[in-house]
Structure 1
């Protein structure tokens, strides 16, 4: 099993599948989807490819029939990488210090190798299953979440339980914050800087808008708190700003990109509408054109009842109390399909999205054992 695990993990890592909002960095995930489908078809899974666009697809692989059962879900993409910052080849498995190094080892191609190892050890056959087992591999989790959004139209046999194998150190996660990314555009009027009356400075209007954004952040943090989170309030980060082109020209346009991470119970669309209404007052006051656009569809906050059957089982089996995290996952989309959902997988989020990403050896066998137990409980 160990040799086969390594071979599969190496094959998954070697096939680059970056998703990125920059087209120059974005890649197809179809080779990964085809690879997983091939492995699962050998184990008598019925595999269906759900097209997202010409280069992107989800995999929905099912063993068994009927309704209910278990979904094991992961995303097939990784973030972009700078090979010059790695101490080993990011697109190959390197064994060192009782770890597998490589891009996607923990976030989260390693989970697919764990699933396959669990299926091997159980020697699964469709005749053994009382409820179906579904393996999902999604596209673009690291960028647009387009794969997870498409799942909302998929037939998942009315599955009742879902485990998303994001790197949580095998700690069950029952709640996480959401994320929205927005761009504030301000259009003023360029002109010669020697005479301010010749133009309308977009940077000065942005200065007022930033002050209002920070006031809105304080308001949200006063109104919304959840002590289950390490950071108990919603957060807003002003990430990047661009405006103007020369010191001796009145700035004609400026835009600011920022993110917002709401707590469960806070709706992104409602926040967007409220914020847009507030900012229009600044546009009127400064005589500029102002627009607030979403950079992607956003991910709502996720909350599964801490006392639900799945979370209680995950706590008992893992030996860890359920926790919360600030990062977003595909969990809200699966929960929307009516499934009890928990985020639970090998590896640490601390190693994700950075050079020399790794998966500790000591996470692998416990992860396989958890997946085996989940299949036995909810499918056999």
Structure 2
């Protein structure tokens, strides 16, 4: 087979559903996307390694490597990384088929068009323009699974013993603005177990909703403590955030509520460890658990994701700023960067499309951004891997 053109690659990637969801009824394998990428990478002389996730059967990572033809040039290199899964979708809110790349109003619509299957079309289209014989350092393409849920794919890659790129660029949608640092993500359920009973005799029960009211008071105090104690000026929201996102409990007005559960979302800054944050939450709830022994449980809704911290003076950041003509920024959302950074590589987040479109109905890429985004990606690969002046 021959490598399809840019738009055909885009279409094929969008056409293969690869939804990642905690709800198993919505969760899908990403194998079809991985197989498509594997075939295209082989067309460009890459050696391809496909690995099933240890703890997520049916989910796969792809690592494609292409070494320089000069076997003495095998150190360092560039890894271009992205995830193959998408969020779930509500087709009643889409104006087109989420799995059919649709061109309208100078935009390309489709689930994953910018978050972030489309990035692979940009990367492969750039590499096809470069002569393998001129390659001077290793070039790698990483495609991961389950970024939108557990980030299990990236966490497994971080343990890869022989993967040691010098640079890593994660192609999340940043409008090609380099991102050098971002916050982490911690989602927790606070579950109150009371004792149900008839509402006519409150003393015979233990009302979980009433205990939850005390929990919320403590959690809101923690929110203020985080806001007042920690700050990093690079971020548009300079402090850690804490959001009360979901609550449910009880079953009827005339029954004492026996169970109530609150889901919270915390976004820690670089420098605030997950362990420290978890301890702060437990400390805040300790007086309530002492008053009502065994009534308060804190449960991770997913493995916490640490913040990502890079340096504005790194060679890769400086190169990305030069090519994009944009200063590197900090963002409030999180990516696979803290895990891939564990490989020992300089790491940034930079890719085509706007984050404002991510996780939205009618997700799309503005077509007038294709040419400038493609040029930056091509120049990045050339500079790092094809005898141009390398980032230092």
Instruction: Tell me, yes or no, whether TM beats 0.5.
Output: yes
Partner of 2:60: 57
Partner of 1:276: 282
- State the distance in 2 between where 1:288 and 1:43 align: 59
Partner of 1:86: 94
**Where does structure 1 differ by over 2 angstroms across 4 or more consecutive aligned residues?**
127-130
Partner of 2:112: 104
- State the distance in 1 between where 2:162 and 2:115 align: 24
How do residues 102-181 of structure 1 correspond to structure 2 at under 5 angstroms? 102-122=110-130, 124-125=131-132, 127-155=133-161, 157-181=163-187
- State the distance in 2 between where 1:2 and 1:132 align: 21
Whether the 8 Å CA contact 2:310–2:348 is kept in 1: the answer is yes
Gaps (5+ residues) in structure 1? none
Partner of 2:314: 308
Q: Secondary structure at the residue paired with 2:11? A: helix
- Deviating more after overlay: 10-19 vs 63-72: 63-72
Whether the 8 Å CA contact 1:171–1:322 is kept in 2: the answer is yes
How many aligned positions are there?
378
TM-superposition CA deviations, 1:214-242 (whole Å, max 9, x none): 10111111110112111111001111011
- State the distance in 1 between where 2:117 and 2:336 align: 15
Deviation at 1:97, TM superposition (A): 1.4
Question: Is 1:28 equivalent to 2:29 in the alignment?
Answer: yes
Partner of 2:75: 67
How do residues 272-351 of structure 1 correspond to structure 2 at under 5 angstroms? 272-351=278-357
TM-superposition CA deviations, 1:228-267 (whole Å, max 9, x none): 1111110011110111111111111111111100111011
TM-superposition CA deviations, 1:123-143 (whole Å, max 9, x none): x42x43221101000001111
- State the distance in 2 between where 1:29 and 1:265 align: 34
Pair 157,151 (structure 1): closer, same or farther in 2 beyond 3 Å:
closer
Deviation at 1:3, TM superposition (A): 7.7
Pair 169,2 (structure 1): closer, same or farther in 2 beyond 3 Å:
farther
Deviation at 1:67, TM superposition (A): 2.2
- State the distance in 2 between where 1:155 and 1:101 align: 38
Whether the 8 Å CA contact 1:202–1:288 is kept in 2: the answer is no
- State the distance in 1 between where 2:48 and 2:241 align: 40
Q: Secondary structure at the residue paired with 1:49? A: strand
Whether the 8 Å CA contact 2:20–2:87 is kept in 1: the answer is yes
Whether the 8 Å CA contact 1:69–1:132 is kept in 2: the answer is yes
Whether the 8 Å CA contact 2:196–2:255 is kept in 1: the answer is yes
- State the distance in 1 between where 2:284 and 2:174 align: 38
- Root mean square deviation, CA, Å: 1.5
Q: Secondary structure at the residue paired with 1:71? A: strand
Q: Secondary structure at the residue paired with 2:58? A: coil
Whether the 8 Å CA contact 1:67–1:157 is kept in 2: the answer is no
Question: Is 1:44 equivalent to 2:45 in the alignment?
Answer: yes
TM-superposition CA deviations, 1:43-83 (whole Å, max 9, x none): 11000012113210110000006220000000000000111
- State the distance in 2 between where 1:151 and 1:2 align: 27
Which residue of the other structure, out of 266, 270, 276, is the alignment partner of 1:260? 266
Deviation at 1:156, TM superposition (A): 5.1
Question: Is 1:194 equivalent to 2:200 in the alignment?
Answer: yes
- State the distance in 1 between where 2:248 and 2:75 align: 52
Whether the 8 Å CA contact 1:179–1:301 is kept in 2: the answer is yes
Whether the 8 Å CA contact 2:219–2:284 is kept in 1: the answer is no
TM-superposition CA deviations, 1:75-109 (whole Å, max 9, x none): 00000011111111110011111111111101111
Deviation at 1:2, TM superposition (A): 12
- State the distance in 2 between where 1:156 and 1:303 align: 23
Pair 285,158 (structure 1): closer, same or farther in 2 beyond 3 Å:
same
